């Protein structure tokens, strides 16, 4: 039995029983009939069903819309209006398979549930590379599949910091000051994202970061998601679909260069909100984002020095802006069904926790995790639930900068524990997951999709065992154990109880160490003593503790409190050993698997384990080089830097292997965690240290 569905296969002896269903036999392929009047997304689901049948058997069923179903075996797809939200059933009777939903999305999800349960097609197959098993025939003694409404009414993905998705197969260009956002994701790429979303039975998407719907190439992304029946929403820095960059582009086209500030230019800001709201309102199923932020995912006060300095005044301005946005929606779409949300990420969480925000009635208040995905912020626990608002959550499977970005890190049991808290505390209306570039996080994505569909009865350990059993034909307990070792390898900060050596955190700390080494070598500070220097800033912004600022204070878990260097080295070693152990266990299983299964194991477990082991070794060795230099051991410093350089060179080799086949060029857009650049920086400092030995400086 799969979570979220009730499945029964009734075995009959001898001749086929009355409820058997023969989809594909040597003699016949049952056609698919979609009821007249079904929306495009139901028809697309029927086409996906036909395409999957062809992929499995080599025979594609005919798909027709409207008309009377033919005699004999056939699939009939249609909506039985008035049922529970997104509920469905699939049942065989009299040789016919009927798939119907309580509403149209329920019908669509019934098709995809049948595909996953009975055809055994991975909903994330495009991103995992997992192909369904080939079969000559498709027939079952009986099909019985049913689901009530999902636990979370709105559930889906935020495609955020999509550097790899965008540059893997880039589309058009756009006006943004960030190198890794200068291209628009190709329409076909987002098409694969949207298909995976609905196959996972999710209904919500934020299609991209900084999407400017007035740019036709970016609007195409919204179109791809809308035709799949998804609710469209916006990044938490894009109220009514407007980011700072959209604002600048709007006024640039009109010959004006204006400050992006609701304090200094309120009329101009409202004009842009209104223009974008009119465009977004042409789409059905929009979840309008309310709020007020500044440039580049930063608070509004960083965009305008004229913004008041007190949290109370800042909260008041944001509240006034949200009220103005509701008035604009009243003007722009007065008769449309309206869903609104405000995401309390970063400074929003802090101001809300202080009781300084007034959220408009009828808005879904979305609480954020601490960004590494380990715990909810204080406002989640301290905010009274208002009966005229609904509540939901924003959760990070991924986060560029501190990470995780190139390697999955959040274990499913941690996600489940936090979602349990959300449901228990009345925040189960909405759940959106930051999934970045999708491919790296298929395990967590699949788990969270199953959880949000049906929390009741979900068991994270049982889910992991089932997930492994479905994807691997041998060594299943060993592979499941290797995944557990992998997730347990991440080091957890003793005080803050969050991971502090994620991929981005390692890169930040390693670059900090290299800079300090380069500065010491340049100043010829060799043998300066081994003072208990701390590693890491303990703040969200390197070297700038900002505990008094609502934005930076909220992000303290992305850069936990600094550790003394020797303690950091020990934790880097422990993490390296943990990932090496996970890799060894996985490698032992890899050789027993068929080729396709082995490729997926390498991509989803062995590669991230070896990547994280070598990144941990790189940090370990750069810190060791500092220790040696402080002790006056210049040759020891060089040896440690050589080891650091070797570890990072191995990362580059691993990365090249990860970009295989259709994934060639996958790291074209890897700017923030650019391994090549970090390797060159390591080599520069190594060269600098070797040059010091050549100058005859003292050695230990």
Q: How far apart are CA 433 and CA 640, in angstroms?
A: 39
What is residue 180's DSSP assignment? G
Q: Give me 525's structure tokens.
A: 């500070």
User: How far is residue 321's CA from residue 291's CA, in Å, rounded to a whole number?
Assistant: 7
Q: Is the pLDDT of residue 57 over 80?
A: yes
Q: What pLDDT does residue 7 have?
A: 37
Average pLDDT estimate for 594-609? 97
Terminal CA-CA length for the chain:
66
CA–CA separation, 362 vs 355, rounded Å? 18
Is 11 a residue whose pLDDT tops 60?
no
- Cβ(296)–Cβ(338) below 8 Å: no
For the segment 300-318, what is each residue's pLDDT rounded down to a tens digit?
A: 998 899 999 899 999 999 9
Task: Give CA–CA dist 145/90, Å, rounded.
Answer: 5
β-sheet with 6-8: strand ranges across: 6-8, 144-147, 88-93, 96-101, 74-79, 32-34, 63-65
Cα atoms in the Cβ-side hemisphere of radius 13 Å centred on 480:
17
Bridge partners, 390 (sequence order): 364
For the ranges 203-207, 354-358, 435-439, 696-700, the lowest mean pLDDT is seen at 696-700
Indicate the burial class of 466 (C-beta count within 10 angstroms; 0-12, 13-18, 19 or more): middle
pLDDT of residue 6: 36
Distance CA 287, CA 240 (A): 9
Residue 261 burial (10 A CB sphere; 0-12, 13-18, 19+) = buried
In angstroms, the CA 465 to CA 463 distance is 5
Phi, psi torsion values for 318, nearest 5 degrees = -65, -40
Beta bridge partners of 92: 97
Q: Is the pLDDT of residue 658 over 70?
A: yes
**What predicted TM-score, i.e. pTM, was given to this entire model?**
0.94
Instruction: Please tell me the distance from the alpha carbon of residue 77 to that of residue 639, in angstroms, as a whole number.
Output: 67
Section 509-537 average pLDDT: 88
Average of per-residue pLDDT across 332-353: 92
Is the per-residue pLDDT at 13 higher than 80?
no
The answer to whether the beta carbons of residues 237 and 148 sit under 8 Å apart is no
Question: How far is residue 394's CA from residue 369's CA, in Å, rounded to a whole number?
Answer: 6
Alpha carbons 474 and 596: distance in angstroms, whole number: 13
The CA distance from 230 to 416, in Å, is: 24
Structure tokens at 308: 């008041």
For residues 367 and 344, the answer to whether their CB atoms sit within 8 Å is: yes
Residues in CB range of 696: below 8 A, 6 or more apart: none
How many CB atoms neighbour CB 306 within 10 A?
A: 10
Closest CA to 676 of 685, 666, 667: 667
Q: Tell whether the torsion through CA atoms of 381, 382, 387 and 391 is positive or negative.
A: negative
Residue 123 pLDDT exceeds 50: yes
Residue-wise pLDDT tens digits, 581-597: 999 999 999 999 999 99
Q: For the domain 154-471, what is the CATH code?
A: 3.20.20.520
CATH architecture of 6-147: 2-Layer Sandwich (3.30)
Name the pairing type of β-strands 534-535 and 430-434.
Answer: unpaired
Q: Write out pLDDT tens, residues 70-99.
A: 999 999 999 998 999 999 999 999 999 999
State CA 62 to chain mean position distance: 36
- Tens of pLDDT along 550-582? 887 878 888 899 999 999 999 999 999 999 999
Query: In 425-548, which residue ranges form alpha helices assigned H by DSSP?
Result: 442-453, 460-471, 476-489, 503-522
State residue 228's pLDDT score: 98
Answer whether residue 250 shows pLDDT above 60: yes
What crossing angle do the helices spanning 40-57 and 104-118 adopt, rounded to 10°? Answer: 10
> How far is residue 204's CA from residue 232's CA, in Å, rounded to a whole number?
6
H or E element: which one contains 551?
A: helix 550-554
Strands 204-206 and 63-65 turn out to be unpaired
Collapsing DSSP states into helix, strand and coil, what is residue 300?
Answer: helix
Identify the three-state secondary structure at position 670: coil
Distances (CA, A) of 42 to 45, 107, 205, 325: 5, 7, 18, 33
Shared fold status for 6-147 and 154-471: no
Name which of 148, 147, 202 is nearest 5 in CA terms: 147
How many residues are there in the chain? 700
Q: Judging by beta carbons within 10 Å of its beta carbon (0-12, 13-18, 19+), is residue 623 exposed, middle or buried?
A: buried
Mark out the alpha helices in 182-243 (DSSP H runs).
187-199, 216-226
Mean pLDDT of the chain: 93
Count of beta carbons in the 10 Å neighbourhood of residue 148: 17
Tally of CA atoms within 13 A in the half-sphere of 640 that contains its CB: 22
Q: pLDDT band at 15, cuts 50/70/90? A: very low
- Is the pLDDT at 27 greater than 80? The verdict is yes
Where in the chain are the domains? 6-147, 154-471, 503-694
| Long-range contacts from 14-19, C-beta under 8 angstroms, 24+ separation | 16/139, 16/141, 17/141, 17/142, 18/93, 18/94, 19/92, 19/93, 19/94, 19/141, 19/142, 19/143, 19/144
Q: Is the pLDDT of residue 342 over 50?
A: yes
**Cα(92)–Cα(442) distance, integer angstroms:** 32
How far is residue 125's CA from residue 42's CA, in Å, rounded to a whole number? 20
Q: Say if strands 534-535 and 563-564 run parallel, antiparallel, or are unpaired.
A: antiparallel
Q: With contact defined as beta carbons under 8 Å apart, do 502 and 402 qualify? A: yes
**Residues β-bridged to residue 395:** 433
pLDDT at 697: 55
Contacts of 611 (CB under 8 A, 6+ apart): 406, 407, 503, 651, 654, 655
Q: Alpha-carbon distance 568 to 573, whole Å?
A: 9
294 DSSP assignment: -
User: Measured on CA atoms in the order 126, 129, 134, 140, is the torsion positive or negative?
Assistant: negative
Strand-pairing partners, residue 170, are: 185
What pLDDT is attached to residue 19? 87
Q: What is the pLDDT of residues 526-542, one digit of tens each?
A: 987 765 678 876 543 44
Cis peptide leading into residue 75 (ω within 30°): no
């Amino acid at each position: 039995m799969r979570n979220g569905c009730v499945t029964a296969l009734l075995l009959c002896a001898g001749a086929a029983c009355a409820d058997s269903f023969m989809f594909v036999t040597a003699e016949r392929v049952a056609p698919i009939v979609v009821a007249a009047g079904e929306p495009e997304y139901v028809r697309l689901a029927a086409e996906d069903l036909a395409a999957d049948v062809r992929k499995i058997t080599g025979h594609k069923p005919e798909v027709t819309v409207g008309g009377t179903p033919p005699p004999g075996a056939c699939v009939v797809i249609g909506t039985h209006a008035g049922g529970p939200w997104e509920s469905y059933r699939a049942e065989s009777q009299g040789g016919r398979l009927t798939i119907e939903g309580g509403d149209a999305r329920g019908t669509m999800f019934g098709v995809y549930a049948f595909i996953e349960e009975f055809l055994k097609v991975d909903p994330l197959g495009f991103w995992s590379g997992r192909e369904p098993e080939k079969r000559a025939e498709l027939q079952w003694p009986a099909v019985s599949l049913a689901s009530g409404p999902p636990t979370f009414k709105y559930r889906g993905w935020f495609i955020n910091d999509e550097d790899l998705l965008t540059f893997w197969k880039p589309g058009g260009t756009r006006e943004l000051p960030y190198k890794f956002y200068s291209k628009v994701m190709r329409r076909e790429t987002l098409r694969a994202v949207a298909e995976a979303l609905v196959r996972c039975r999710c209904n919500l998407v934020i299609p991209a970061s900084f999407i400017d719907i007035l740019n036709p190439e970016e609007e195409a992304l919204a179109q791809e998601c809308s035709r799949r029946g998804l609710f469209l929403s916006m990044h938490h820095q894009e109220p009514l679909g407007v980011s700072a960059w959209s604002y600048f582009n709007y006024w640039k086209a009109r010959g004006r260069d204006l400050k992006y500030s609701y304090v200094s230019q309120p009329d101009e800001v409202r004009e842009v909100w209104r223009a974008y709201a009119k465009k977004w309102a042409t789409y059905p199923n929009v979840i309008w984002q309310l709020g007020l932020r500044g440039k580049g995912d930063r608070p509004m006060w960083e965009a305008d020095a004229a913004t008041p300095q007190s949290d109370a005044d800042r909260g008041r301005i944001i509240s006034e802006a949200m009220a103005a946005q509701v008035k604009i929606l009243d003007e722009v779409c007065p008769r449309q069904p309206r869903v609104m949300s405000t995401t309390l990420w970063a400074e929003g969480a802090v101001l809300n926790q202080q009781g300084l925000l007034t959220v408009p009635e009828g808005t879904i208040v979305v609480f954020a995790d601490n960004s590494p995905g380990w715990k909810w912020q204080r406002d989640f626990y301290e905010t009274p639930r208002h009966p005229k608002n609904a509540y939901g959550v924003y959760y990070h499977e991924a986060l560029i900068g501190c990470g995780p970005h190139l390697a999955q890190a959040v274990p499913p049991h941690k996600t489940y524990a936090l979602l349990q808290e959300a449901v228990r505390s009345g925040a189960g209306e909405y759940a959106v997951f930051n999934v970045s570039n999708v491919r790296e996080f298929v395990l967590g994505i699949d788990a969270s999709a199953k959880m949000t569909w049906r929390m009741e009865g979900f068991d994270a350990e049982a889910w992991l065992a089932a997930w492994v059993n479905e994807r691997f034909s041998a060594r299943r307990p060993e592979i499941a154990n290797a995944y557990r070792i992998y997730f347990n390898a991440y080091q957890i900060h003793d005080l803050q109880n969050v991971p502090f050596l994620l991929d981005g955190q390692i890169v930040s700390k390693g670059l900090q160490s290299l800079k300090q080494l380069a500065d010491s070598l340049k100043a010829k500070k060799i043998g300066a003593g081994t003072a208990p220097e701390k590693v890491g800033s303990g703040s969200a912004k390197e070297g700038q503790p900002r505990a008094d600022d609502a934005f930076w204070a909220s992000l303290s878990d992305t850069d936990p409190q600094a550790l003394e260097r020797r303690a950091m080295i020990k934790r880097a070693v422990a993490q390296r050993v943990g990932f090496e152990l996970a890799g060894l266990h996985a490698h032992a299983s890899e050789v027993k698997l068929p080729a396709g299964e082995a490729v997926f194991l390498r991509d989803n477990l062995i590669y991230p384990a070896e990547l994280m082991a070598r990144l941990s070794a790189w940090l370990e060795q750069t810190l060791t080089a500092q220790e040696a230099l402080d002790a006056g051991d210049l040759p020891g410093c060089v040896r440690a830097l050589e080891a650091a350089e070797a570890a990072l060179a191995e990362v580059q080799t691993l990365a090249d292997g990860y970009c295989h086949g259709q994934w060639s060029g996958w790291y074209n857009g890897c700017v923030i965690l650019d391994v090549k650049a970090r390797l060159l920086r390591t080599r520069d400092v190594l060269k600098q240290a070797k040059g010091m030995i050549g100058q005859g400086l003292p050695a230990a």
